[in-house]
């Protein structure tokens, strides 16, 4: 519902789509490691070749962990 509403109002204001087609959400299950999923998400800009260094990508973060904490984990686990 959040994606539908935000996409609708964004397109009304900008005449551009907000969400890419065929994207999907999913709920993490208990057996999935939250940090492994976080690492995958945080490193997406590098895998997609948008940036060479995560510090150069402005559009990521967390409400519960600082960027420094996430970077430390990603770099330690890599």
Q: What is the pLDDT of residues 57-70, one digit of tens each?
A: 888 888 888 888 88
Residue 70 burial (C-beta neighbours within 10 Å; 0-12, 13-18, 19+): buried
- Rounded Cα distance between 50 and 44, Å, is 9
- State CA 23 to chain mean position distance: 12
Q: What is the pLDDT of residues 6-42, one digit of tens each?
A: 999 999 999 998 888 776 777 887 766 777 888 888 8
Res. 77 pLDDT band, cuts 50 70 90 = low
pLDDT of residue 67: 87
pLDDT of residue 62: 83
The token duo for 40 is 């995958």
Q: Is the pLDDT of residue 78 over 70?
A: no
pLDDT of residue 13: 94
């Amino acid at each position: 519902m959040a994606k539908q509403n935000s996409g609708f109002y964004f397109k009304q204001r900008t005449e551009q789509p907000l969400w890419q087609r065929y994207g999907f959400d999913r709920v993490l299950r208990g057996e999935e490691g939250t940090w492994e999923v976080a690492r995958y998400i945080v490193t997406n800009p590098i895998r997609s070749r948008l940036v060479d260094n995560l510090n150069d990508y402005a559009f990521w973060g967390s409400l519960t962990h600082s960027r420094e904490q996430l970077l430390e984990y990603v770099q330690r686990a890599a």
